[in-house]
């Protein structure tokens, strides 16, 4: 007699249960728990893709600390009619595709209703395309690439930039450098910038405006060390060989620290007037063991400039929370939260992207970082104006950079308009 098995055997039952559990686990974890729609949620969720690992992790960690500080202050002050804000941070590892995926995930899976994009340039372009498809309010806080907001083809209605912009810095830098060149007779120039698009573009724009203001400037040579190059001996000896009177460098972060340390060994800065597009960040300034006196740098951040109690309070709060000096990215992110909080107040907590964007567009904020009273989120191209586009000179001790000279924004805007026309953006 054939014995027919009925029902489910123990082995099959266990197999089935394990399979169902695995499918359930994968399903739940990937799909996430259903989030409550923004209008009803007590907590407002903000997502922040940024770079938290690798060589430029300081970009993400200093951005994150600034947002943490702002949100902590906002929540402690009672939030928005009792509603608090929660920020979810994700590491994109500096990869644009990962930035896009993580941003989609923050919106679709974690229920984030606002995005603070703490990505470097290429990542921010990737995030911009996600926002085009999933139109929540987005503030780019680290990308300095002018194209992101200047090019009308890239325009996204709910995306804004709360960060300095390359062309603004180029105008301010060119104007500042040309005044010194005229004053000191600095005719023979050289450049030393990292060999990638940002380094080359930034250097070209600086020289364009420096020459515009002082046509007698002549560039004798240009050297292009690789990004993250550990040894600059070859470049330094080349500069010493050419013997320029002045030089511009777009080196930044650890590369700049290494370049200055190695330059000190050769006495590079004794007879050359040095202009830097990246030295002004306090962590960079403090990382250099012997900071040469008299180097000229663009403002990145300084707790004594703009010299007001709010800026000093920001620096103190940041240092207490992060246990390090604020960076350029820190103030930009802190400023971004100010736009977001104000927009949320004006919409009475409505987190719908279009509603928030309508409020942020053209918004003027009395910020600790404003040099002419307020910082404005310009409505025409969704980028900020009125922030410190200034240059200063290094001193060996705190505050490391002083004697900041700000270029009037009216002049920057005038030349920016010309630049836009030349690029076909206006």
Partner 1 sequence: MWAQSSRRDLALAALLLIALVALPYIFPHPAMRDFIIYVIAYGLLAMSLNLLVGFTGLVSFGHAAYFASGAYIFGLLMQSGEVSIPVAMLATVGGTALLALVIGAICVRLHEIYFAFLTLAFQMFIHSVILTWVSLTGGDQGLMGGIPRPPFLGIDLGNSMTLYMFCVVLFVICLVIMRQIVQSPFGYTLRMIRDNPRRANFLGVNVVAMKLAIFVIAGAIASVGGIVMALFVSGAYPEFAFWTTSGEAIFMIMLGGTQLFLGPLVGAILLQTLNHFVTIYTEHHGLVLGIVILIFVLGLRRGLADYVYELIQSRKAAAAEPKPRAEPAQATFTDETRLADKGANT
The footprint of partner 1 (CB under 8 A) covers: 26-27, 29-32, 52-53, 57, 90-91, 93, 95-97, 100-102, 104-105, 108-109, 121-122, 125-126, 129-130, 132-133, 145, 147, 151, 153-154, 196-198
Toward partner 1, which CB reaches closer, 134 or 242?
Answer: 134
Is residue 185 helix, strand or coil?
coil
Question: Quick one: 100 or 236, whose CB is closer to partner 1?
Answer: 100
CB atoms near residue 293 (< 10 Å) = 10
Give the DSSP letter string of 108-129: HTS--SEEEEB--HHHHHHHHH
Minimum distance from residue 53 beta carbon to partner 1 (Å): 5
Among candidate residues 87, 133, 85, the one with its CA nearest the CA of residue 353: 133
Closer by beta carbon to partner 1, 124 or else 162: 124
Min dist CB 356 to partner 1, Å, is 21
Of the candidates 218, 208, 214, 215, the residue with the CA atom closest to the CA atom of residue 188: 218
| Residue 105 or 214 having the CB closest to partner 1 | 105
Within 10 Å of residue 269's Cβ, how many Cβ atoms?
17
H helix intervals, 134-232: 147-150, 166-184, 197-213
Give the residue among 364, 357, 358 at the shortest CA–CA distance from 378: 364
Residues 6+ apart with CB under 8 A from 371: 306, 386, 387, 388, 389, 390, 406, 409
2 backbone dihedrals φ, ψ, rounded to 5°: -85, 130
Minimum gap (Å) between residue 106 Cβ and partner 1: 10
Q: Minimum CB separation from partner 1 for residue 16, in Å?
A: 17
Nearer to partner 1, 115 or 180 (CB): 115
Angle at 261 between CA 273 and CA 333, to 5 degrees: 85
C-alpha radius of gyration, the chain, whole number: 25
Classify residue 135 by its DSSP letter: -
Identify the three-state secondary structure at position 212. helix
Quote the least distance from Cβ 196 to partner 1, whole Å. Answer: 5
Provide, rounded to whole angstroms, the least separation between the CB of residue 219 and partner 1.
20
33 versus 373: smaller Cβ distance to partner 1: 33
Shortest distance, CB of residue 213 to partner 1, whole angstroms?
26
Contacts of 352 (CB under 8 A, 6+ apart): 38
Least distance to partner 1, CB of residue 65, Å: 13
């Amino acid at each position: 007699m054939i014995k027919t098995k009925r029902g489910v055997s123990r082995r099959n039952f266990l197999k089935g249960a394990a399979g169902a559990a695995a499918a359930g686990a994968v399903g739940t974890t990937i799909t996430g728990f259903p989030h409550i729609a923004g209008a009803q949620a007590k907590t407002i969720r903000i997502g922040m893709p940024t770079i938290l690992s690798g060589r430029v992790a300081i970009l993400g960690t200093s951005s994150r600390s600034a947002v943490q500080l702002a949100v902590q202050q906002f929540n402690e002050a009672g939030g928005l009619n009792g509603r608090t804000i929660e920020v979810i941070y994700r590491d994109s590892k500096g990869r644009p595709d990962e930035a896009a995926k993580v941003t989609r995930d923050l919106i679709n899976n974690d229920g984030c209703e606002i995005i603070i994009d703490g990505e470097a340039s290429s990542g921010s372009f990737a995030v911009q395309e996600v926002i085009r498809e999933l139109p929540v309010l987005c503030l780019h806080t680290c990308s300095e690439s002018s194209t992101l907001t200047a090019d009308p083809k890239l325009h996204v209605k709910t995306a804004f930039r709360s960060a300095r912009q390359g062309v603004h810095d180029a105008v301010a830098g060119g104007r500042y450098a040309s005044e010194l060149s005229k004053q000191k007779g600095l005719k023979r120039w050289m450049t030393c910038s990292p060999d990638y698009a940002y380094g080359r573009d930034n250097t070209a724009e600086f020289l364009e405006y420096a020459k515009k203001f002082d046509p007698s400037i002549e560039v004798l040579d240009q050297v292009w060390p690789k990004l993250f190059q550990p040894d600059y001996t070859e470049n330094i000896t080349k500069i010493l060989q050419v013997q320029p009177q002045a030089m511009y460098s777009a080196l930044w972060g650890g590369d700049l620290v290494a370049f200055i340390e190695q330059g000190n060994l050769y006495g590079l800065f004794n007879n050359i007037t040095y202009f830097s597009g990246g030295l002004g960040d306090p962590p960079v300034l403090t990382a250099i063991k012997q900071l040469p006196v008299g180097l000229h740098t663009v403002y990145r951040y300084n707790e004594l400039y703009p010299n007001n109690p709010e800026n000093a309070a920001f620096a103190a709060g940041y240092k207490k929370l992060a246990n390090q000096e604020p960076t350029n990215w820190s103030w930009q992110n802190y400023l971004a939260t100010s736009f977001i909080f104000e927009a949320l107040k004006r919409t009475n907590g409505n987190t719908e992207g279009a509603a928030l964007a309508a409020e942020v567009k053209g918004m003027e904020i009395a910020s600790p970082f404003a040099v002419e009273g307020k910082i404005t989120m310009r409505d025409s191209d969704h980028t900020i104006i009125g922030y410190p586009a200034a240059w200063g000179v290094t001193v060996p001790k705190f505050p490391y950079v002083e004697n900041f000279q700000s270029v009037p924004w009216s002049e920057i805007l005038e030349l920016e308009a010309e630049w836009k026309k030349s690029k076909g953006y206006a």
